[in-house]
Structures are given as structure tokens and as C-alpha cells.
Amino acid sequence: MRSVPFHSTLSRHGKTRARSVLRMACRKRCILLFTLQQDVNARFNIIKYKYVKEIYFCLILLAKKLVLSMIIRTFASSVPTKPLNDAQMRGAFLYIYVYSQNTLMERLPHFMKHYMTEADLMALLKSRGLVISDEDKAVRYLESIGYYRLSAYMYPFLKVPKETHQYKDGTTFQQVLNLYRFDKKLRMLLLNEIEKVEIAIRRAIMNIPVQMTGDTYWLTNSVHFANQRTFQETKNTIDREYAKSTEEFIKHFKNSYCDPYPPSWILGELLTMGNVNMIYRNLKADKIRKRISHYFGLQPIVLESWITSLTLLRNASCHHSRVWNKVSSIMPVTPRRITHPWIILPANPQRVYFTICIIKYFLDIISPNNDMLGKMDTLFSNYPEIDLAALGFPNEWESEPLWAQQM
């Protein structure tokens, strides 16, 4: 007796109900998988192993494959269908993501806090145990800086559990201000040093390809790039910046020459470091990418990663964002081989100390007599109460090869 497929024995109503049950089961499993992804992401933010990023992506890839297989099995019809194409798969994942986000939103309460004046906020801080000696001065600071910005610097002074919003005994408003001022001065110090590094990196990426290819206009020549779509996006950016630029050197070139674009070392001055890094990543010839990275004693993947870290820190500093006690959104690559002095002690790559070491590493190459260590020592001595561990500094960091060479 020939066996009859299960789906053919069901009525139309039965098939609809069965598929509805399968869809609901698939949705629940998908939500669990995305919850797992978020949990893995949160846990990996504090892990310091070298290959965390690679392991993370492998786990996410496996999770996505499992989700895709469930989607195909659940939504497949009784007749054979052709496999999902890329657009359909992206749509399926987008549906799952939106569904999970909407489910989460349904569980969260509405924002119910009411607006408070600076005088009310000052009174609230006092009621929570913060010592304020000059109330008028405190109100002026709250007006000019804002309670919300200052609250990040108040957080470490809260008692445990911090949900009680009670400050440790003896905590003063002046301590909060000192921490805020320290963070501001640290940002200014780092921004000044990053400027030197970015200029040197930009020069290397713009000039070395000319030396190796002999093409003065390589920056706008598609033959030098691997991904043509990325190249076109970059070229569109170049066209926009070149068209709207009011720089004197651009005006001079337009008035003096008939070429559609200036040479790369001129055109590159119009681009952000994000643009420059994308150009470097997209270079077709590995030997050019290696020549540029070896100029700084690094591998290409490390140079790409470190440029991204510098760009994020520079942007944060330019927009007055907090640097102290902040965890970066990316995991910079730790070099396996390096030709110049580097750090040995374990350090969290997502803390600002690691990026400070990156700045120092580049400075030692482009400006061997730099005084970055002296500037940092002066800043730290002016604010001895600051906990450097919140920045990611390990104990005895000054004895590291990177820092000890100037002592």
C-alpha cells in the first residue's frame, strides 16, 4: 500500500492551523536565538581574548543558518518550490528582527518622568546625599552643562545598589565637576595627538600608491580598486566634496588646469579619515596595502582596525562625548607581530587606554621625540583622585615597552 503524505490527509482548515502553529513555534525559537545573540554580544564586550571577534561571528553565522532552515521548513508549501534568493532571505531576517523588536517594545513602559528645572534638580541631588556647598554655583553649572551630561560623572559616586540613587557619604558636587573637567582635558589632549597621526596616515595612503603605480590620478581610477560598487560610492563622495569645496588650493587648481581632478595627494585633503580608510580597504593590489601598513610596522588588517579606532575616538572628542569610563563599540585588532615597542600587560581593547596606546605607537614612528607621556603625566598629577582603571590603564602601565622608552 502506497503511503500518503501527511499534508495531503489534512483538510484546508487543518493545514492552515498546522502552519499557524509552526509559524508561532518558529517565531518563539527565532526570538530565543536573537536573545542569545544579544547575550553573547554583551558577554563578549568584557572578554579580552585575541580571537573573540572571529568566534562571535561564527556563532552568529550558525544561528542565522539555523533560523533560515526553520523558515524554509515552516513556510514551504506542499509542492516543491525553488530555493529562496538573497532578497527573500534578507526579508525573512528583517521580519524576524522587526517582530522581536516589536515584542520587546510591548513589554517596556512609557517614559513618565516630568521636566525639572535646574533648581529642582539641585534640590533632588541634595536629597540623595550629594554635598553642595554653593547652591547658586551648582545651578549655573547645571544650566550650562546639563544634568543629563553630568549624571554620567555622578554614577561612580552612587552607593550599591545604584538603583537607590543614593550617593556615598561625603560625595561633593565639586568631585563630580573635577571628573567632568578631567574628561574634557583628556579629550583635548588626545584630539591634539590624533591630528598628527591622521595627517601622517593620510599622507602615506595618498602618496605610496603613486610611487608604486606611477598613476598620479589613481584615486579616481577604478582599475586600482577591488570592489567597483564601493569605488563608485567613494568617487561620488569625492565628486561632491570637490564640487562644493571653497579651499584656496582647490580654487587654484580649477582656475589653472583643465584636468577633471587634482592629483591624489591634493584630492585626499578633502576626504575624511573614514573615506581614506575605505579607500585603503578597497585597494586591489595587496602589495600596495602591505607597503602602506609596513611603513607603520603593521599588517594591513591591524592598520585598518586601528584607523577605525582612531576615527571613533576623534569623533567622540570633537562632539564632546565622554571618554572616561566608556566602552568602545568596536574591538580593535591586537597585533600578532609588531616591529616597534608595544604593550605586554593585558589590556581591554575596548577601553580608551588601548586607543591611547595606538596613538602613542604611531607618534613614536612619525615623531620619535614626542612628549605625549609628559603631557599625560601632567594631566594625571593635576587630578590625582581620578581612577585610571576606569580608563583601562593597568597597574604599572608606565613600565610597558611602549611608554618606558621615554622615561
pLDDT 10s digits, 264-289:
999 999 999 999 999 999 999 999 99
- Let me know if 332 is exposed, middle or buried by CB neighbors in 10 A (0-12, 13-18, 19+): buried
Confidence of residue 406 (pLDDT cuts 50, 70, 90): low
C-alpha cell at 42: 554583551
Confidence of residue 341 (pLDDT cuts 50, 70, 90): very high
- What is the secondary structure of 116-166 as a DSSP string? --HHHHHHHHHHTT-B-S-HHHHHHHHHHT-HHHHHHHHGGGBPSSGGG--
- Structural domain spans, the chain: 7-106, 118-171, 182-404
pLDDT of residue 92 exceeding 70, the answer is: no
- Spell out a b/e string for 378-403, using b for 16 or more CB atoms within 10 Å of the CB, else e: eeeeeeeebeeeebbbbeebeebebb
pLDDT of residue 44 exceeding 50, the answer is: no
Confidence of residue 16 (pLDDT cuts 50, 70, 90): low
pLDDT of residue 210: 97
What φ, ψ does residue 95 adopt, rounded to 5°? -60, -45
pLDDT of residue 124 exceeding 70, the answer is: yes
Q: List the Cα angle 53/59/64 in 5-degree steps.
A: 125
What φ, ψ does residue 142 adopt, rounded to 5°? -65, -35
Region of poorest pLDDT, from 58-72, 278-292, 334-348:
58-72
Q: How far apart are CA 353 and CA 321, in angstroms?
A: 16
Task: Find all residues with CB under 8 Å of 149, minimum gap 6, and list them.
Answer: 180
Q: For residue 76, how far is the Cα from the chain centroid?
A: 39
Mean local confidence (pLDDT), 18-40: 57
What φ, ψ does residue 330 adopt, rounded to 5°? -125, 165
Percent of the chain residues past pLDDT 90, beyond the cut = 68
Q: What is the pLDDT of residues 183-200, one digit of tens each?
A: 999 999 999 999 999 999
pLDDT of residue 337: 87
Q: List the Cα angle 54/58/63 in 5-degree steps.
A: 150
- Grid coordinates 541634595 are at which residue? 126
- Let me know if 217 is exposed, middle or buried by CB neighbors in 10 A (0-12, 13-18, 19+): middle
Confidence of residue 111 (pLDDT cuts 50, 70, 90): confident
pLDDT of residue 31: 55
Other residues' Cβ atoms within 10 Å of the Cβ of residue 136: 9
Q: How far apart are CA 12 and CA 280, in angstroms?
A: 58
Confidence of residue 84 (pLDDT cuts 50, 70, 90): very low
Confidence of residue 66 (pLDDT cuts 50, 70, 90): low
- Let me know if 314 is exposed, middle or buried by CB neighbors in 10 A (0-12, 13-18, 19+): buried
pLDDT of residue 19 exceeding 80, the answer is: no
Contact (Cβ atoms closer than 8 angstroms) between residue 278 and residue 203:
no
Confidence of residue 48 (pLDDT cuts 50, 70, 90): very low
Region of poorest pLDDT, from 85-94, 278-287, 319-328:
85-94
pLDDT of residue 75: 45
pLDDT of residue 163 exceeding 80, the answer is: yes
C-alpha cell at 130: 550629594
Q: At what angle do helices 273-281 and 228-244 cross, to 10 degrees?
A: 150
Confidence of residue 387 (pLDDT cuts 50, 70, 90): very high
pLDDT of residue 318 exceeding 80, the answer is: yes
Residue 66, helix vs strand vs coil:
helix
pLDDT of residue 89 exceeding 50, the answer is: no
Helix (H) or strand (E) holding 252, with range, is helix 248-256
* pTM, rounded to two decimals: 0.74
Contact (Cβ atoms closer than 8 angstroms) between residue 307 and residue 368:
no
Q: How far apart are CA 182 and CA 166, in angstroms?
A: 24
Confidence of residue 15 (pLDDT cuts 50, 70, 90): low
Contact (Cβ atoms closer than 8 angstroms) between residue 40 and residue 59:
yes
What length does the chain have? 407
Q: What is the pLDDT of residues 292-317, one digit of tens each?
A: 999 999 999 999 999 999 999 999 99
Contact (Cβ atoms closer than 8 angstroms) between residue 74 and residue 19:
yes
pLDDT of residue 268: 95
Q: How far apart are CA 2 and CA 46, in angstroms?
A: 59
Question: Please, how many CA atoms are within 13 Å of residue 402, restricted to the half-sphere of its CB?
Answer: 22
Averaged pLDDT of the chain: 83
Residue 6 DSSP symbol: G
